[in-house]
Structure 1
Amino acid sequence: MTSDLALSQSGFVTTIEIRRPPLNFFDLLLIRQIANAVEAIDKDPSVRAVVLAAEGKAFCAGANFNEPAPSPERSVGDTAIGHLYLEAVRLFSARKPIIAAVHGAAIGGGLGLAMAADFRVTCPEARFSANFTRLGFHPGFGLTVTLPEAIGETNAALMFYTSRRVTGEDAFKMGLASVLVAQDQVRAAAFKLAEEIAECSPLGVVATRATIRRGLANRVRAATEHELAEQTRLRATEDFKEGIKAMAERRVPNFKGR
């Protein structure tokens, strides 16, 4: 396992820790590593639940659009994102429960990663944002499916249209997060929830989860195809260039609608 990811097991619970501090920006390689880890865990009868956590300031701040001269594997261009979404769909095909320990920001695709989990444990300091329209962009990572299914169409639309940052408290109130604790207790609370799940019949949990999430991976796969098409179209616009520039300059974007 590379230094980008660390796995540890205690009892029937495995913790997957993202190690790209401080902001844990993702790329195709990282999502592939996580998907590979999850698939390996699915084949391991000694593991009954997974905690997805991260070190550093953020849980995952999304893709790094400011990365200089990216290589194809790390690119946010059309082809790489297409492959990244294929890797992301693998996460939604996981058989065992995943609890995301969101101790900091989950932004853009980072929110998409958090939504691949069954539950999110968070804290008041965390921030959740589908900030795509703020970039002149379209949501991705299957969020057009997962977010409305988790918090309802109205709340999801509010997050998409405004690109606002939702606090941990508000995330808990709207059902985006299942548990709200102090920041230094997020990982412990996520692990406690995983242990509670692991005490139940593993066959029963896997079967029940498969029923509840039936068709989810297929819905996400179809959604990401549409999301990618829209992202590809919008990436060529002046507004997208302005959105990325404004983000880098930490200012309000001045969109022209072209």
Structure 2
Amino acid sequence: MSEAEPQPVLFSREGEHLAIITLNRPESRNPLDQDTQDALIAAIHRLDTEPGIRVAILTGAGTAFSSGGNVRRMSAAASGPAERTPAQSRQYYRHGIQRIPLAIERCEVPIIAAVNGPAMGAGCDLACMCDLRIAAESARFAESFVKLGITPGDGGAWLLPRVVGFAKASEMALTGDPLSAAEALACGLVSRVVPDAELMDAARAIAARIAANPPQAVRMTRRLLREAWNNRLETVLEFSAAMQAVAHTTADHKEAMAALREKRKPVFRGE
């Protein structure tokens, strides 16, 4: 990326506790190319390392959330995936886009996907990597890999069934057909649909509700929810007991109980 080119991902802070991550290649509908992958992973890492961040919003610049893979580069005769050996392609995915779901999984800060337009292929999967999703009325979603004669290389076959259920995920992945925002709401892919002009305000409102809670309890609850995706009940109960033991010792827990007794608004400091 030359110095004249815009940053592929923007990172900004709003107020004390909110971070906004914006995919910033609107002219090409925010593809998840190598530069964007690197910048997005760096932004996700900042969520855990910058003091005070309690919640983040991920969105796209322009009229698209993300078009997914860069189809132009994919079809380039000299450098496209078809020219790589299978071993090279395996490493390309492992050290490329597959880093994103792992980075989001490890992040402790909840991430809200504000889907402002089409979320196609890997763009749809990126939305599924987030903790919750709200959509503008113009948003569309497609697990469209099959249309290009390929499969989800970014973890979509693991992510999508956990969000919409196996049958709906199968329909989406095997047909590759897009869903409207209303259809995405009906199957649970998103939790809310709002007019385009209201999307970021709606995302900020949800973020504020999350940020108002004790931040350590929010982080531990997010971790429990993530672990519960993959483990048996007995394992999750054991993990829950350990997390709860830690939560009981926090100053924010004591503040919450005191505020409840005193009938006042609590002040949480993340301690």
Q: What is the CA distance between 1:213 and its match in structure 2?
A: 0.3
Distance in 1 of aligned mates of 2:230 and 2:36: 19
Which amino acid in the other structure matches residue 32 of structure 2? F
Distance in 1 of aligned mates of 2:230 and 2:167: 23
Contact 1:111/1:130 (<8 A) preserved: yes
Which amino acid in the other structure matches residue 130 of structure 1? E
Choose from 92, 95, 113 the match for 1:100: 113
Identify the residue that residue 8 of structure 1 maps to in structure 2: 12
Choose from 44, 50, 57 the match for 1:44: 50
Choose from 80, 88, 91 the match for 2:92: 80
Distance in 1 of aligned mates of 2:76 and 2:145: 22
Distance in 2 of aligned mates of 1:65 and 1:181: 30
Q: Residue 18 in 1 paired to residue 23 in 2?
A: yes
Contact 1:123/1:168 (<8 A) preserved: yes
Distance in 2 of aligned mates of 1:129 and 1:33: 24
- Assess, with a 3 A threshold, how the Cα gap between structure 1 residues 75 and 134 changes in structure 2: closer, same or farther: closer
Q: Residue 56 in 1 paired to residue 62 in 2?
A: yes
Distance in 1 of aligned mates of 2:46 and 2:62: 25
Farther off after superposition, 130-139 or 154-163 = 130-139
Contact 1:28/1:87 (<8 A) preserved: no
Q: Residue 30 in 1 paired to residue 28 in 2?
A: no
Contact 2:98/2:153 (<8 A) preserved: no
Distance in 1 of aligned mates of 2:183 and 2:158: 20
Q: Residue 166 in 1 paired to residue 167 in 2?
A: no
Which amino acid in the other structure matches residue 185 of structure 2? F
- How many residues are treated as equivalent by the alignment? 217
Q: What is the CA distance between 1:192 and its match in structure 2?
A: 1.3
Which amino acid in the other structure matches residue 190 of structure 1? A
Matches of residues 1-258 of structure 1 in structure 2 within 5 Å? Answer: 3-11=7-15, 12-22=17-27, 23-67=29-73, 69=76, 78=89, 79-88=91-100, 89-214=102-227
Q: TM-score, normalised by structure 2?
A: 0.74
Q: What is the CA distance between 1:57 and its match in structure 2?
A: 1.7
Q: What is the CA distance between 1:70 and its match in structure 2?
A: 8.9
Contact 1:27/1:75 (<8 A) preserved: no
Which amino acid in the other structure matches residue 61 of structure 1? S
Distance in 2 of aligned mates of 1:208 and 1:217: 15
Where relative contact order (Cα < 8 A, 6+ residues apart) is larger, the structure is 1
- Assess, with a 3 A threshold, how the Cα gap between structure 1 residues 134 and 3 changes in structure 2: closer, same or farther: same
| Structure 2: unaligned runs, 5 residues or longer | 232-271
- Assess, with a 3 A threshold, how the Cα gap between structure 1 residues 19 and 71 changes in structure 2: closer, same or farther: farther
- RMSD over aligned CA atoms reads 2.4
